[in-house]
Structure formats: C-alpha cells, structure tokens
Amino acid sequence: MIKSLLVANRGEIACRIFQTCRELGIRTIAVYSDADAGLRFVREADVAIRLGPGPASESYLRADLILAAAIEHGADAIHPGYGFLSERAEFAEACIAAGIRFVGPSGAAMRKLGTKADAKALARLAEVPSVPGFEGQGRLEELQAAAVGIGYPVMLKASSGGGGRGMRIVHDPSAFADEFHLASDEALKSFGDGTMLVEKYVRNPRHVEVQFIADGHGNVATLFERECSIQRRHQKLIEEAPAAREVPWEAMREATRKLVLAAEYENAGTAEFIVDPETDAFYFLEVNARLQVEHPVTEAITGVDLVAEQIRVASGLPLSFPQRLIDGERSEIFGHAIEARIVAENPGKGFVPSLGKIRAWLTPRNPHIRVDSGFEVGDEVSRFYDSMLAKIIAHGPDRATAVHRLRAALLDLHILGVDTNAGLIIDLLADETFRSGHIHTGTLATFLETWSVPEPGPELALVAAKATQPLTTGPTTGPAIQNDQPAWSMLDGFRNARP
C-alpha cells in the first residue's frame, strides 16, 4: 500500500485527496507556488514544498520540480488531481522511471485515450459511435478544409485538456482562422499543448458522462452516469448523478467498457458522450483520463470513495466494492446527487472574474450537504488559476429533493470579498425547465436571456458591516478583547438569505 503521497495540484482537489489520505494513514506532501503559499491545502499537508512563482508554467506545470520534490521527500506515489499535468503521458512515465507510482492510468493508456484525437480514433476501431470530425496534425489549413467537408457550424477543440478551455464554435468559414488561433493559444497556456481538432457541432445536445475505474485484476467498474448539461461556454456549472432523465444506460456502459478494454486502461476515468434529447442517440466525445471535478456526485449515489479506490489500484490491489456495483446494476444507486460549482465571478457584469481577499466565508452545515473547497477566510483568490471557490453537493432520495436541498444550502452560503455566481445558481435551481429535467447544453443560455441580477436588499449593508468590523467582547470598561474569528461565528440568528 502507498505510504507517502505527493499531490501535484492545488486548492480544492489537493484538500480532497489529503482527506482520504488521512483516513488511510498515508503521509501527504503538497507542492505550491508563491501565489498559493497561504492557502489551506498547504497548511493541511504533512510536508509542503515550494515550486516557484505564481504562473503555472513556472510551478504546477514544471514536472522536473515536482519529481525532484517527490524524490527528496520520499513520496511513494504522485496523484496529479485534474488539470495541469494530470493527462500528460510523459509525466506519468517520468514518475514510473523515477520509481514513483502514478495514481492514474499508464502513459500508454493515456496515449490511446488521453487526447481527444486519439480517443476518437480508438472509438472508431472499437465501433463506438462518435461525432463526425477530423484530427489530422492540428494544422490550420487541414482543419479549415475538413470543416468545409463536415459542414458548418463546427466545433474547434483542444486535443489535450478539458474544462471548456481551448473550445470555440465557428459558424462561418471567414471566422475560422481567428477562432483557431484564440483556441490554440488558450489550450497552450492551460495544458501546454495547442494542438486542435475540429468536429461537427451538434446543437443543444445533452452532455452525459460515465464514471469508470479499472484495476489490474480484470475488473472494469462502470459507476453510472452523470448529467453535465448545464454549462456556460462549455464549462460545467451543475452536475448530477444519475442523469436528470433516462439515458440508454446499457449501451453507454458497453461503449465505455469497450474503450477501457481497448486502451488497456487501469485506474479512474470518465467517458463523455453527447445525447440527442429527441432520439436518445449518443455519440462519444472524449475520455478524461483522470479524476473529474464532479466525482463527488458519483460518490454520493454509490458510497464509493473514488480517491481511495484510485490509491488501491495504484498499489496493485483490486477494487474493494461489490460485484453488482462493478457491473453497473442500477439497483445499487442510492438516491440522487447534484453539485454546483461556486465560482469567483460576477454574472451581472459578463461573468468577469472576481479577485481579492475573502473577508467572510460561511458554508452550510447539513448532513445531506457536502462542501469541497480549498479556501477559508483571509485567503486570496489569485489571477493565476481557475476561479472555482467551492463545490456544494446535495444528496436526496430523488432528484426533486436533491435540487431543493442544494438550493437551500446555497441560500446558507455566505462569501464576502469576491463576487460569486451563487445567486445565479439559486435562481436557476428554481426554474421550471430545470426542475422538469428537460435540460440540454443550451438551457443555461436560454435562462440567461431573461435572467436579471437581483437588486441587493438593505440587509447586504448589514452583512458587510458585520463581516468587516472587528468583534469585541469583555467588560465595558478597560481594553476590549479583539476576536479575529469570522463575523459569522456570532450565532445571533442573522441571515442574508433570500426567501
């Protein structure tokens, strides 16, 4: 079993992995940039090693520095989290070459599935339906010619990475070159690889993915589907498991198993599909050869700790859960779970990122609610990285209950110092179209056409005053005792929640 684990990542996902490591008795090692030196994940690790300056290219993308830290401090294994180096075959192979286990698929499996282009090629060989497209060598002229043959509109996609970065919809041939360069530059900055592919743009499909994990003992578990159709600019905002409405589960499960077996894949990953909401026909998009941001909703409906299973697989052990769950028996699903990504941005001002210090931070406490975050009061939201502050996950016996619990939890979420998208999600969760489950990737855009930012009520001034003024206790005479706890620790019944 792995005894010492370095997490080659930051923030929320580093904290999440450390939590499981503590439960398993595994020593933890954090690596951090100068911009993250004061964040929670650095404090929570048993050992924390500085990598370099704030830009990812000088810190979290420096495989040489991360490996040197792992070797120097005796790491048995490296967990890459998601983003950064998580889908770099070269990094996985460098870990193995250095005698350090990589908590993820092998470099060989990544090369077959870890980029969108290679994954689609393998899908065709495995007879898994995929969206018409062209990979080539990613050169502008090749992709322009392919787009004409495919027919506009088309989607430009980064071959590596995910999270909506390096993606552009092109409606007109005259805009292709400009969009290509914008998408390629964004992909290069985010993933270190600007290679692009092009495929047919399918309007308003559902985005449904299948969580899988495979071990070295012949087990390929398909842990049901997640619906990720609520997106803005191809970045997921709300995810739920199982899907909001029925999907062709057995066919999607079989397609996922074919891909995993063809790639000789071990460890956790996700097969992503789009589903035609009218016909239920589905098309393979890509495999995320790593743990996903939205993995908590799968954990909620299965009772499986996916990080613990990743560590087991990387240690050479078999999966620990029952065969019926491995086989994707739907009777093994426990209720419904839904997750909201809370992002530091201002929806009322074109979703501009919001930076600065967090002045107040109160998250809901409820047995049906899980909060995954890497931030606390006093932490700084940096310009260098993704602006997600937290994931709020609600679980219930059915979808309606889970949605209600999530909305109630967001009404009890209080963050001051930076703007967030929480108000938008609160309103979306009350929308009848969303509640009906008849959602697709265009649902949020339609909702935003009529949505307006609520006017701040008079209570907001009191919230700000309570959060920014120091608290005092003690007698009225003599020096006051300064209390540096967050203002929310005053349990006086005050709320800023909308009804």
Residue range 383-406, pLDDT digits in tens: 999 899 999 999 999 999 999 999
The region of weakest confidence among 88-97, 225-234, 472-481 is 472-481
The tokens of 203 are what? 């309007």
Residue ranges of domains in the chain, CATH in brackets:
4-103 (3.40.50.20), 132-200 (3.30.1490.20), 206-450 (3.30.470.20)
Picking from 269, 270, 268, the residue whose alpha carbon sits closest to that of residue 310 is 268
The tokens of 302 are what? 């299965």
Rounded to whole angstroms, the Cα distance separating 162 from 113 reads 13
Q: Is the pLDDT confidence value at 340 over 60?
A: yes
For the chain, helix, strand, coil in percent to 5 are 35, 25, 40
What local confidence, expressed as pLDDT, does residue 464 receive? Answer: 56
What is residue 69's three-state secondary structure? helix
Tell me the average pLDDT of the chain. 89
Over residues 333-338, the mean pLDDT reads 98
Bond prior to 132 in cis (omega within 30° of 0): no
Over residues 266-271, the mean pLDDT reads 96
User: How do strand 47-52 and strand 77-79 relate by DSSP bridges?
Assistant: unpaired
Q: What is the pTM of this model?
A: 0.84
Q: Is the pLDDT confidence value at 457 over 60?
A: no
Q: pLDDT tens digit string along 411-420? A: 999 999 999 9
498 versus 296: which is more confidently predicted? Answer: 296
Over residues 95-124, the mean pLDDT reads 90
Burial (0-12, 13-18, 19+ Cβ within 10 Å), 303: exposed
165 versus 338: which is more confidently predicted? Answer: 338
233 versus 16: which is more confidently predicted? Answer: 16
Percent of the chain with pLDDT over 90: 75
Q: Is the pLDDT confidence value at 478 over 70?
A: no
Q: Is the pLDDT confidence value at 454 over 50?
A: yes
Q: Is the pLDDT confidence value at 472 over 80?
A: no
What local confidence, expressed as pLDDT, does residue 423 receive? Answer: 95
| Residues with Cβ within 8 Å of residue 368, at least 6 apart in sequence | 394, 395, 396, 405
**CB of 37 within 8 A of CB of 62?**
no
Rounded to whole angstroms, the Cα distance separating 74 from 236 reads 37
For the CA atoms of 36, 41, 46, 51, the dihedral, rounded to the nearest 10 degrees, stands at -30
What local confidence, expressed as pLDDT, does residue 322 receive? Answer: 92
Over residues 211-231, the mean pLDDT reads 97
What local confidence, expressed as pLDDT, does residue 131 receive? Answer: 82
What local confidence, expressed as pLDDT, does residue 14 receive? Answer: 98
Over residues 97-126, the mean pLDDT reads 89
Rounded to whole angstroms, the Cα distance separating 77 from 100 reads 5
What local confidence, expressed as pLDDT, does residue 16 receive? Answer: 97
Whats the size of the chain, residue-wise? 499
Rounded to whole angstroms, the Cα distance separating 188 from 158 reads 9
Q: pLDDT tens digit string along 173-217? A: 999 999 999 999 988 888 788 888 898 888 889 999 999 999 999
Q: pLDDT tens digit string along 346-371? A: 999 999 999 999 999 999 999 999 99
Picking from 170, 131, 130, 140, the residue whose alpha carbon sits closest to that of residue 153 is 170
Picking from 419, 423, 482, 478, the residue whose alpha carbon sits closest to that of residue 452 is 423
